Structure 1
Amino acid sequence: MAPRNPAAQTAYGPMVIAAAEHSRPPRQRLHDDPLAIRMLPAAQRLIARGCELDPVVRTPTVWGGLCQE
């Protein structure tokens, strides 16, 4: 398997945010990208899915702020 291009990996951060945003209620989303989660590798998918968990949503961090309802 060929090594991944480091420049191409910079897209994962914004894509994780887009996928995490999709877990919010529709009226609270800034954008709606239902395919974002499908474009992520497994590890980043877990991070995006983690935003659906109540302990993460209630944590006063950047991710908690992103995921708050």
Structure 2
Amino acid sequence: MEVINGVLEEFYACSRQKVNVEKSLFYCSRNVGKGTINNLMCCFGFQYSDDLRKYPGVPLLSGLR
């Protein structure tokens, strides 16, 4: 989590653009425990999604689980 936070901070420092937490989701494999998912949600403020949906209009994963 510290590494990812560092990357996001470096991105902001270079670009002056912040990740929109309200529009951001994260996805984990089914092997990641609920405690870890909750820690990630608290740390980053992103919502968890059990499906990657589409971006932009194209499925990101096809039948992989």
Q: When the two structures are superposed, what TM-score results if normalisation uses the length of structure 2? A: 0.32
When you count strand as a share of all residues, which structure comes out higher?
2
Kindly name which structure, 1 or 2, has the bigger radius of gyration based on alpha carbons. Answer: 2
**TM-score (ref. length: structure 1):** 0.31
Q: Which has the higher helix share?
A: 1
